[in-house]
Amino acid sequence: MPLKLAIVGRPNVGKSTLFNRLAGKKLAIVDDRPGVTRDRRFATGNIGDLDLALIDTAGFEDVDDDSLEARMRAQTELAIDECDVALFLIDAREGITPMDEVFAELLRRKDKPVLLAANKAEGRQGESGALEAYNLGLGEPLQISGEHGEGMADLYAALAVYA
């Protein structure tokens, strides 16, 4: 059985880039159920010898009204409920924003394991952002770069615990 991994966080932290990397060459399976389920993408993938069932949560680039936060919250909650482990991404270059705090609070209220990752941390550019992320109270952040494939061995080791 693959490990069900939900990639969650606010828009633009790099969720889809990491999703695509872990999904590799396999085509992402687009779910066409109506409503909020459409806001998530599903694909199989792997990291090393670990098989993954990936869930990406969308950023609603097309939405710019008051429903944005409510929709993100709803689909993030669904993704968390569906997963074995939630991978919570923050942008290490930007540090922690108020919207990151909202997601952190949501994750703290769920009883799923959470892995915190400071993304965009290639070339050690994420050190201060990672320090801020530590203060979210969700454990020590992994420092990764989904775009450049850095930190994948640490991510593998952290996920293998749940396999």
Tell me: does residue 16 bind ligand GDP (CB under 6 A): yes
145 is in an annotated binding site: no
Q: Is 67 annotated as a binding residue?
A: no
Q: Yes or no: say if 120 and 92 are a contact pair by the CB < 8 Å rule.
A: yes
Q: What's the rounded Cα separation, in Å, for the pair 77 and 80?
A: 5
Q: Binding residue per annotation — 4? A: no
Which pairing describes strands 40-47 and 50-57: parallel, antiparallel, or unpaired? antiparallel
CA dihedral 132, 137, 143, 148 (to 10 degrees): -90
Is 10 annotated in a binding site? The answer is: yes
- Contact pick of 9, 14, 16, 138 for Mg ion (by CB under 5 A): 16
CA gap 81, 25 in Å, rounded: 27
Backbone angles phi, psi at 62, to 5 degrees: -90, -5
Q: What residues pair up with 4 in beta bridges, in sequence order?
A: 53
Query: Least Å distance between CB 51 and ligand GDP?
Result: 22
* 141 marked ligand binding residue: no
- Does residue number 59 form part of the binding site for Mg ion (CB under 5 A)? yes
Count residues near ligand GDP (CB under 6 A).
15
Closest CA to 11 of 100, 92, 130: 100
Q: How far is the CB of 159 from Mg ion (least distance, A)?
A: 20
Give the one entry of Mg ion, ligand GDP, none that residue 2 binds, where binding means its C-beta sits below a cut-off of 5 to 8 angstroms depending on kind. Answer: none
* Subset of residues 45 to 74 that bind ligand GDP, contact rule: CB under 6 A: 59
Q: Which residues bind Mg ion (CB under 5 A)?
A: 15-16, 59
Q: Which residues bind ligand GDP (CB under 6 A)?
A: 11-17, 59, 119-120, 122, 145-148
